[in-house]
Amino acid sequence: MIPDGLLLPQPSQPSLSEVVLKILREMISAGQFKPGQHLKEAELATALKVSRGPVREALTQLEAEGHVELRRHRGAFVSTLTRVDVEEVHTLRTAIERLAAERACTRMGEPEFAAMDAVLEKMKAATRPVKPEDAVRLDLQFHDIIYAACDHQRVQRVWTSIRSQVSFFLHTRNVNFPDFTDVGYPEHLELRNALSQADPAAACAAVEKHLSGAYERLKKLDLPDKPV
């Protein structure tokens, strides 16, 4: 018998598709490609030293995540995120995060709250001014815990599909208005406290309040009105 979990946490070497996906996702989120830019399979393939197959698979996944638009026989074009997209992501996120919180609040135990508190501690302790990427990372880490705790594969999947867009928006905002310092910690703490009541209705309300606050700040960004 093998000691439990000795060689197991070896997530079976990621496939090339996954590697390529991660790289491209990161590059797009970081704004390395211009919106509207044509991503050519062959170009990316040679640049990444792989063949077109894995690149192709990564691109279809990126389409599902809303980062690129796939046009038949034309290829992949980086999406230009408009204020309509901000609204869509916000409303969809609210819908699923309400559900996630409802379920999570009665399922979270000691370890989950400990993980949350660790993140909260980092938010409080972060040296001002907080770097945008750190702020975004902590913010998402906090919400990831809720989604993980809600124990709902399909909700988890939807969250994954909008997560990097949320990341993009948060990043843009934090670059333009670096006030995460002030609102980040208290607002998340409030949400944590609501969750610890283990009352679905309360958790739901807290999520709505939290997200609508974030959305209000997000709307201050000036984004393109229409895709060119």
Partner DNA sequence: CGATCGTAAATTGTTAGCAATTAACGATTG
Partner DNA sequence: CAATCGTTAATTGCTAACAATTTACGATCG
Contacts with DNA by CB under 7 A lie at 12-13, 15-17, 38-42, 50-54, 56-57, 70-76
* Only segment of 20-28, 133-141, 152-160, 207-215 that touches its own copies (CB under 8 A): 152-160
Q: Is 202 in the site for its own copies (CB under 8 A)?
A: no
Of 41 and 134, nearer to its own copies (C-beta) is: 41
CB of 28 to DNA, least distance (A): 15
191 within 8 A of 183, measured Cβ to Cβ: no
Of 34 and 72, nearer to DNA (C-beta) is: 72
Cα torsion for 86, 156, 192, 178, to the nearest 10°?
Answer: -30
Q: Decide: residue 93, CB within 10 A, 0-12 exposed, 13-18 middle, 19+ buried.
A: buried
Q: Is 99 in the site for its own copies (CB under 8 A)?
A: yes
* Residue 226's binding partner out of its own copies, DNA, none, with CB under 5 to 8 Å set by partner kind: none
CB of 98 to DNA, least distance (A): 35
Of 10 and 153, nearer to DNA (C-beta) is: 10
Q: Decide: residue 49, CB within 10 A, 0-12 exposed, 13-18 middle, 19+ buried.
A: exposed
Q: Is 152 in the site for its own copies (CB under 8 A)?
A: yes
Of 152 and 210, nearer to its own copies (C-beta) is: 152
* Residue 51's binding partner out of DNA, its own copies, none, with CB under 5 to 8 Å set by partner kind: DNA
**89, 108, 116, 194: residue in contact with its own copies (rule CB under 8 A):** 89
CB of 122 to its own copies, least distance (A): 30
* Residue 52's binding partner out of its own copies, DNA, none, with CB under 5 to 8 Å set by partner kind: DNA
Q: Is 49 in the site for its own copies (CB under 8 A)?
A: no
- The secondary structure of the chain, three-state, reads CCCCCCCCCCCCCCCHHHHHHHHHHHHHHCCCCCCCCEECHHHHHHHHCCCHHHHHHHHHHHHHCCCEEEECCCEEEECCCCHHHHHHHHHHHHHHHHHHHHHHCCCCCHHHHHHHHHHHHHHHHCCCCCCHHHHHHHHHHHHHHHHHHCCCHHHHHHHHHHHHHHHHHHHHHHHHCCCHHHHHHHHHHHHHHHHCCCCHHHHHHHHHHHHHHHHHHHCCCCCCCCCC
CB of 152 to its own copies, least distance (A): 6
- Which residues form the interface with its own copies (CB under 8 A)? 12, 15, 57, 60, 64, 66, 72-73, 88-89, 91-92, 94-96, 98-99, 103, 152-155, 157-158, 162
